[in-house]
Structure 1
């Protein structure tokens, strides 16, 4: 199936829309897919094309501070990271509303996914958006509180960087969007998690712990491999098959 790419601007949000060429103006199941830290929407085009080729409308937005919205990284450890995720959360509703108004979402079939920082985003969105039917998290984390603690310790002890004493309060919104503390919000929705066992950026153990704590939930599909912080083509194909089977 041939696909086409359209550049769109929704308010301040630049995004790429990847869609089957002959269905570009028809309602289709929609997937919003988020990129990783210090990445951009273009670097998700391979995944976007794979999903579009099997019949999805795929939206690849640039997160705040990234891509066409790139800004300098704050000297305060992790500040820009959390700001970027929070902006994704702020903007998700605007993206969905825009495509609903264009009548381009088929039967309210909405999915989300993301790589690394984008996986943090997709996991967090599940806590507040029951309209999402299916989600994936590729080497991100459904445990952002634990990850925040790791960043604080890493910055202060390993690099002797200044960390505000009240950083936890300054990022208190993270507590409300941590899927591991409100797993009931999944409500049976299919959730694919992929993580490399040798991941050196986002700890594998935190993700594996989340899955272990919720091992009775058969809607959580956990795939882990002997990889580091890298999503390969075969993993993209696996995720495409997952969305095709559930959305």
Structure 2
């Protein structure tokens, strides 16, 4: 397995592949979680490369090589800016994959954990080119998640940095990235969810309720894995099942 540090359009990333791969090999862009970095997800890349998938692991804005020594408080304040920047940069990476002739097969997927799962969900809502996806500890609704965060801040008596009018406008803007509201871009595509039922960071019930609302037509392509005793950390079994699912459906 070859791991190369590269910079594409000012985005530092790890390009992971093996010598048997070529322009016909499928590709997965894998997105890390909040306060994490690209190199902390090499175990996902290992599993995917073993199954013949080229992997791109970018550092999110204010993370890894791009942290600029930002404090956790600052990163919390900029959470949604980081998410939306990542959604935009996923398309930049996709364009670079095409420019570098890595997508002759057009088999490209997305996957991510926590914040990376949230970004993956938003990308499915707006980018029809995604062929398969793995959403670990993500959400299918940006607006429901931000409203949950606002309610948590109120309960902790934290002053909100926006007026009520600004909040309403922001929530309306985020609705563009609600996977559950943009079926035309993901219908029929293989998607796997993994979520621990004891997750206290990204509520399990948000994506589970969405999955439970789907009819049989959608369920042919979508898989949901729950683990009753798991919290906000993907189990080894989850890592193996998600990587196997995405690789299999891109093969």
Q: Which TM-score tier does this pair reach, normalised by the shorter chain?
A: over 0.9
Shift of 1:133: 0.6
1:48 maps to which residue? 45
Shift of 1:74: 8.1
1:84 maps to which residue? 82
Q: Distance in 1 between matches of 2:145 and 2:75?
A: 13
1:194-213 aligned within 5 A: 194-213=194-213
Contact kept, 8 Å, 2:143 with 2:171, in 1: the verdict is: no
Correspondence 1:15 to 2:16: no
Contact kept, 8 Å, 1:29 with 1:107, in 2: the verdict is: yes
Correspondence 1:66 to 2:69: no
Shift of 1:123: 0.8
Shift of 1:209: 0.9
Shift of 1:171: 5.3
TM-score normalized by the length of structure 1: 0.92
TM-score normalized by the length of structure 2: 0.91
Shift of 1:77: 9.0
1:121 maps to which residue? 119
How many residue pairs end up in the alignment? 244
Correspondence 1:111 to 2:109: yes
- Higher percent of residues as helix: 2
Q: Distance in 2 between matches of 1:162 and 1:173?
A: 18
CA distance 1:203–1:170, shift in 2 (3 Å): same
Q: Distance in 2 between matches of 1:49 and 1:230?
A: 18
Q: Distance in 2 between matches of 1:223 and 1:95?
A: 28
CA RMSD for the aligned pairs? 1.9
Q: Deviations over 1:131-161 (max 9, x none)?
A: 1110110011112111100101111222433
Q: Which runs of 5+ in 2 are unaligned?
A: none
Correspondence 1:189 to 2:186: no
1:231 maps to which residue? 234
Q: Deviations over 1:190-234 (max 9, x none)?
A: 111110000010001111111112243122211101210011222
1:32 maps to which residue? 29
Correspondence 1:221 to 2:223: yes
Deviates more, 1:184-193 or 1:116-125: 184-193
Contact kept, 8 Å, 2:126 with 2:182, in 1: the verdict is: no
- Higher percent of residues as strand: 1
Contact kept, 8 Å, 1:113 with 1:135, in 2: the verdict is: yes
User: Secondary structure of the residue that 1:107 maps to in structure 2?
Assistant: coil
CA distance 1:170–1:77, shift in 2 (3 Å): farther
2:146 maps to which residue? 148
1:179 maps to which residue? 179
